[in-house]
């Protein structure tokens, strides 16, 4: 009787430990950028006044399978903002101004989505684009300007 009781206790303990290891393993975050929950591919990072801004670019034509179909604004730009305490900024106002290689300027107010702020833009022409992002986060005004080449 004592041996049966020990066997049952060991079986229960083994089951609990196995289940715990499985649950713990499934909660370890994956550091692969493709599964980070971010929209698009990282193409620029900046630090402005202690805030970290990470920019992601997505070509919507590739996502819809309509690579040959013309779209007015086939590119999606997301900016994810982390505050000075490394927490995601979930409230604020973000605007973009994009100056293309031909001198054309696009302005867009970003919309909050997926823990970031996103716009659609036309960056179909090859060349260098100057991207200016302005974010109002609480009492802080962040202005970031950088260039990005499209091939």
Q: Tell me the C-alpha distance between 42 and 62, whole Å.
A: 16
Could you tell me how many residues make up the chain? 151
Over residues 142-150, mean pLDDT? 98
Domain boundaries, the chain: 1-30, 33-150
Q: Evaluate if residue 127 carries a pLDDT over 90.
A: yes
How far the first Cα of the chain sits from its last, in Å, is: 76
For residue 66, name the pLDDT band (cuts at 50, 70, 90): low
Q: Evaluate if residue 29 carries a pLDDT over 80.
A: no
Q: Evaluate if residue 151 carries a pLDDT over 80.
A: yes
Q: Evaluate if residue 21 carries a pLDDT over 80.
A: no
CB distance 49 to 140 below 8 Å: yes
Provide the pLDDT for residue 61.
87
Q: Which CATH class is domain 33-150?
A: mainly beta
The pTM score is 0.73
């Amino acid at each position: 009787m004592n041996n049966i009781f020990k066997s049952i206790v060991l079986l229960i303990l083994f089951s609990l430990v196995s289940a715990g290891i499985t649950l713990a393993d499934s909660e370890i975050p994956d550091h692969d950028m493709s599964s980070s929950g971010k929209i698009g591919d990282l193409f620029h990072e900046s630090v402005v006044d202690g805030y970290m801004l990470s920019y992601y670019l997505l070509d919507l034509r590739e996502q819809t399978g309509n690579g040959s179909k013309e779209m007015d604004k086939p590119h999606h730009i997301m900016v994810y903002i982390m505050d000075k305490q490394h927490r995601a900024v979930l409230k604020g106002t973000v605007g973009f101004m994009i100056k293309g290689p031909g001198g054309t300027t696009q302005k867009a107010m970003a919309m909050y989505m997926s823990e970031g702020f996103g716009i659609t833009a036309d960056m179909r022409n090859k060349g260098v684009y100057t991207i200016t992002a302005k974010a109002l986060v609480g009492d802080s005004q962040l202005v970031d300007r950088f260039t990005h080449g499209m091939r």
